[in-house]
Every structure is written in C-alpha cells, then in structure tokens.
C-alpha cells in the first residue's frame, strides 16, 4: 500500500479518536455561586416542635356550688371588666337568708341599745346611793351593795348585747358568702371566649380529678405570649430577657419585638420524643400584637449572640465538616475547609480559610459538583 495513503488513514483515525474523546469529555456543570462579603451573623436557638400563641391570663370559670342557671349576663366575644357579674345560679333562698340576717342585726342593735341604757341608769343609781351613804344619809349598806351588783349586771348585759350584734354581723357575712358562691364574677378585664351554659341548665363545679366543661372561658388578650418547646441541649443557653423573633404560619413577616419572659424550671419528658424545656416569649411592640389570636401556631428564634460586620457564608453553600467548593478564575472547583464562628440557619461566620471576594458554590447537591470539576456560573 502506498505509504502516503497509510499516513493519511492513520492521521484520519487519530483525528476521529480525538473527536470522540473531546465529545465524551465532562461538560461544565451550571452552578449558582456566592461571593463572600461582610454582613450580620446571629447565633440563634429555635424550638424543636411548634409553639402556640397564648393569652397572658386565661380562666375557666364555674360557680363554687352547683345549681340552675338563673341569669346569664354575657355572650361569647363580649368584653368584660374585673368584678363584672357574668353568670348567676338560682339563689333566692340564700338571698332571703341575707335579708333575714340584716333584720336580725337591726333587732340586736335595738336590744343592745336598750340594755346599755339600763346599764347606764343602774350605774348612776348605784353612784347616788354610795354618795348618800358617805354623807351619813339614811341608806343601808345592803341597799348600796344591791344597787352596785345590779349596775354591774346591767353592764354585763350591755356587753352581751353588743357582742350579739357582732355575731349577727358575722352571720350576715356568712350568708353573703353563700350568695357569692352562686355568682361568677370576672377576675380580670378580658374577653369571653366561650359560654357553655344556657338559662335553666344545671351547672356544677368540676369534681376533684374529673375536669368538666366550664360554663365560661375568659381570656385576657391585653398581652400575648408564645410558648414553645426547646431541646434540653439548647435550653441551657437561654436566659430570661434575651431577644427573640416570632414566626407564624398565618403571617409572612417575622415579629422581632419578643423578649424571653420565662424558661421553665423543669424538663418535659414525653414518650418517644426528645426532652424539651418550655420557653415563653412576650411580644412588646403593640404592632406585633395586631391580628394575633390565642391558639395560633408559632415558632420562636432566640438570639444568643450577634456580630454586625463579619465575613459570612450562606448555609446552603456549606458541606459537612465545614467545607466548601471554591471557584477559581478558570471556573474550576477546589474543595476548601474553613474555620466557622457564629452560625444560624441562614449564615455562618468565617474566621479563617476564606477571604472576601472568594466565590463558592451554593448548589452543592447538584450532580457533577465535585473537586476539580469545570463549572459555568449562572448570571
């Protein structure tokens, strides 16, 4: 065969193999990138399970004694003032007893006045007879002694009559207390959440250990708290007075006027669940309280520490063991480790290992994103 022809065939084969290899080369991976700049980084702790918006006070109200509902003075959603009468159980017999005790007090006071007037007269009579005897008037010792004894007896009767008035007044207080047992009064200013009673129905207080539906459920919505469980490991870092943000499923924006108002002094232990500590956050800004209702689900994020201007990385750019994929000037990936500082769900502080202006891959879970890969950075 012609040598020139052989050389031509060999060259053609080489070009073909090179074309195949070039066609089969790894294609650049399209990735999202983040350029390191300084910004705020916060160290926070969040709840492990969903929390709940709660009214600062809530009372399930029932009369102290059972009876038939004689008067119902409120409806659901009514605003009430402290001491306002909400419900009254039939109590005509008890009110009649109050009237009776008031009459007895009047009788006792009249009897006491009579006894004390007689005691005063007897005392003056005894004083006159004693004076006559001293001036050698015709008054026997026996008369004087009898008069003094009678005076002391009348004074004792006066004291007994006055004490009888006190007893009658105490009996009136007992009768009035019995009437109060049939009334439900608002213990604080609030709003009626539920009314579980109707006129003519029979209501009773809950027996010990057997909860029953209360006739009236009263809420104080002048202040609201968010109660949420925090993992026992994280709860040790939280103290009352720390700043916190509240997120709600019903609203898009975070509400960050919260302050930790209570950290429970015990750990909740529930079967098949992590042990948690209940933490309460109170929202201070009235604007943050608008539109909130007790019972909303909510999450809390407690601020432990904050740095205003530090080099930071987004959480979705970080691999395990604090590694990232660094993009060089030729758009080739290089795995790089860094030393982290403060961190939260969004950003992690970079203490060393990276510098401002470095580009790192954010789409770290994408196929083909490995050390040494060529990439195309999305605009």
Domain ranges of the chain: 27-41+307-377, 46-57+219-306, 63-89+182-203, 92-180
Residues with Cβ within 8 Å of 375's Cβ and at least 6 positions away in sequence, in order, are 28, 29, 30, 31, 327, 331, 332, 333, 361, 369
CATH of domain 27-41+307-377: 2.40.420.20
pLDDT in tens, 287-346: 888 788 888 899 998 988 888 889 999 988 898 889 998 888 888 888 899 999 988 878
What pLDDT score does 17 carry? 61
What pLDDT score does 272 carry? 63
What pLDDT score does 145 carry? 77
What pLDDT score does 23 carry? 45
What pLDDT score does 15 carry? 64
Structure tokens at 318: 């970080």
What pLDDT score does 89 carry? 94
**Fold classified for 63-89+182-203:** OB fold (Dihydrolipoamide Acetyltransferase, E2P) (2.40.50)
Contact by Cβ (8 Å): 376, 29: yes
The percent helix, strand, coil of the chain (3-state, each to 5) is: 30, 35, 35
CATH of domain 46-57+219-306: 2.40.30.170
What pLDDT score does 16 carry? 57
pTM above 0.85, yes or no: no
Q: Give one word for 298, left, alpha or beta, with left for phi > 0 and alpha for psi -120 to 50.
A: beta
The list of the chain residues with pLDDT below 70 reads: 1-26, 135-139, 209, 271-273
């Amino acid at each position: 065969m012609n040598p020139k022809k052989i050389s031509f065939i060999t060259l053609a084969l080489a070009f073909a193999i090179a074309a195949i290899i070039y066609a089969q080369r790894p294609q650049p991976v399209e990735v999202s990138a983040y350029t390191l700049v300084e910004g705020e980084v916060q160290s926070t702790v969040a709840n492990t399970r969903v929390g709940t918006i709660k009214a600062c006070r809530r009372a399930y109200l029932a009369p102290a004694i059972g009876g038939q509902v004689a008067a119902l003075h409120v409806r659901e959603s009514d605003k009430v003032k402290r001491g306002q009468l909400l419900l009254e159980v039939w109590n005509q017999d008890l009110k009649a007893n109050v009237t009776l005790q008031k009459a007895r007090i009047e009788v006792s006071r009249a009897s006491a006045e009579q006894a004390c007037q007689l005691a005063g007269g007897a005392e003056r009579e005894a004083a006159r007879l004693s004076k006559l005897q001293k001036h050698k008037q015709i008054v026997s010792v026996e008369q004087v002694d009898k008069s003094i004894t009678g005076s002391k007896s009348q004074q004792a009767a006066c004291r007994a009559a006055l004490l009888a008035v006190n007893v009658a007044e105490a009996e009136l207080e007992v009768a009035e207390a019995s009437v109060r047992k049939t009334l439900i009064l608002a213990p604080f200013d609030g709003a009626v959440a539920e009314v579980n009673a109707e006129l003519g129905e029979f209501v009773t207080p809950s027996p010990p250990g057997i909860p029953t539906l209360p006739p009236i459920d009263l809420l104080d919505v002048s202040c609201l708290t968010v109660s949420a469980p925090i993992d026992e490991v994280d709860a040790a870092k939280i103290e009352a007075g720390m700043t916190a943000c509240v997120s709600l499923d019903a609203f898009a924006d975070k509400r960050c006027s919260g302050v930790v108002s209570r950290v429970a002094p015990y750990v909740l232990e529930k079967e098949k669940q992590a042990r948690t500590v209940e933490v309460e956050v109170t929202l201070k800004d009235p604007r943050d309280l608008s539109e909130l209702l007790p019972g909303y689900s909510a999450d809390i994020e407690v601020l432990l520490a904050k740095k205003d201007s530090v080099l930071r990385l987004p959480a979705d750019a970080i691999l395990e063991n604090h590694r990232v994929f660094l993009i060089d000037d030729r758009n080739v990936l290089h795995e790089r480790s860094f030393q982290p500082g403060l961190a939260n769900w969004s950003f992690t502080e970079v203490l060393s290992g990276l510098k401002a202006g470095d580009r790192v891959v954010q789409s770290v879970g994408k196929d083909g994103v490995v050390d040494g890969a060529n990439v195309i950075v999305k605009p």
